Amino acid sequence: MASLSQPRERGWLRVLLGLAAFLLVPAVAGLRVLFPIEQTILLVGPAIAVCALVAWVQGGRAWLALTWLSLSAWMLLRPLGDATQFEFLARGWAILLVAIFGILCVIGGRQLFLSRALTTVAATFVFASAVIVVSDVSPMRVQRTVGDELDRRAAPSTVLLEQSVADNPRAAELLEQMLAWWSALPDKTVALFPALLALESLAALALAWGVFHRISRSRIGPPLSGLREFRFGDQLVWGLLAGLVLTVTPSLADLRGLGYNLLLFFGALYLLRGMGVLAWFIGARRLPLVIVALLMIDIVVLDYLDLVFPPATTFLALSLGLGDTWIDWRGRARQPT
């Protein structure tokens, strides 16, 4: 049972900035298409409620749990009116995700957050897949539902770009390239939807964990470590290798979509791990300056800039993250000379 007399965790700034960025996803056109569940509050709010409920079961404050449970019930169960099928799927995923997370928190003891969250996401996918298999809903129907939803989100910006092409003939070529890229984005998101949904769910659980342990003295597990200490079990490298094998082996072409999703999900984890290694060596405060310098390399040297995955930044962080599996950069740095 967690200790209930500890002081609240400190350090609101980073948590609030992350929470604000996460909740403002619906206000940014590009992110609306990249984030599987547009209303990100549907993931964060119920996850905080589950943390409060677990703390209550272990002797925490009842009023905090009841308050968050009431808010979450209103968010998830309120009448939808003319809602699309995707909204029902999104709410079902949110309910299943936080329910499994709550169960793992009760039985998890002192297990670290990331282990609980990764297990939660994996179990949610398994359970959701089982529901699809035993129901009358085919995977292709789910894929069409997701595609229709993403096309709906992209439609307003598509209209604006088409109008801009008509109104600005001098910049028509550039605008047409932007329009072509934007028009193809929903299909790419559909192809990578499972990995993006898993990453979004992990982010929501992490934010909920951080917020809860700052508004409550109850502890339902160890606090989140900083970026400098971010690491996970080295066995996860097999997920990345499996994705690589599935994408490059011609005889496994039918599983190439799964391979791309594995590469994106585990690649993102190792990218973050590499950022942690980099922050360890240069200091967390200097990390933004290094990233800016790498972006300048992308612009000046490579004459290329991708705001989502800059090549130099990605290459360096992935190299450090994967290398940390075998070399343990931070462990070596701690050893006395």
pLDDT digits (tens, 9 = 90+) for 53-95: 999 988 888 999 999 999 999 988 876 656 778 988 899 999 9
Domain that holds residue 288: 229-337
Residues ≥6 apart with Cβ < 8 Å to 107: none
If asked whether residues 205 and 259 sit together in one domain, one would say: no
d(CA 307, CA 295): 9
Task: Tell whether 151 is covered by a domain.
Answer: no
* Measured CA distances, 302 to 255, 271, 275, 294, 309 (Å): 33, 20, 21, 10, 14
pTM attached to this predicted model = 0.88
If asked whether residues 82 and 199 sit together in one domain, one would say: yes
If asked whether residues 206 and 233 sit together in one domain, one would say: no
Highest mean pLDDT: which range of 12-16, 80-84, 193-197? 193-197
If asked whether residues 68 and 198 sit together in one domain, one would say: yes
Lowest mean per-residue pLDDT among 87-91, 186-190, 238-242, 277-281: 277-281
pLDDT of residue 305: 42
pLDDT of residue 203: 95
User: What is the three-class DSSP state of 195?
Assistant: helix
If asked whether residues 305 and 329 sit together in one domain, one would say: yes
pLDDT of residue 320: 85
If asked whether residues 200 and 88 sit together in one domain, one would say: yes
If asked whether residues 197 and 335 sit together in one domain, one would say: no
Structure token pair of residue 336: 């006395």
Task: Band the pLDDT of 11: cuts 50, 70, 90.
Answer: confident
* Measured CA distances, 6 to 3, 63, 261 (Å): 7, 18, 40
Q: Amino acid identity of 205?
A: L
* Measured CA distances, 102 to 46, 191, 312, 328 (Å): 10, 30, 39, 32
If asked whether residues 330 and 200 sit together in one domain, one would say: no
DSSP string, 69-111: HHHHHHHHHS--SS--HHHHHHHHHHHHHHHHHHHHHHH-TT-
d(CA 103, CA 114): 15
Task: Tell whether 179 is covered by a domain.
Answer: no
Taken as a whole, the chain contains a residue count of: 337
The answer on pLDDT for 260 being more than 60 is yes
If asked whether residues 288 and 206 sit together in one domain, one would say: no
Task: Tell whether 170 is covered by a domain.
Answer: no
Please tell me the total count of domains within the chain. Answer: 2
If asked whether residues 114 and 129 sit together in one domain, one would say: yes
If asked whether residues 136 and 214 sit together in one domain, one would say: yes
User: What is the three-class DSSP state of 226?
Assistant: coil
The answer on pLDDT for 206 being more than 80 is yes
Q: What is the mean pLDDT of the chain?
A: 83
Task: Tell whether 100 is covered by a domain.
Answer: yes
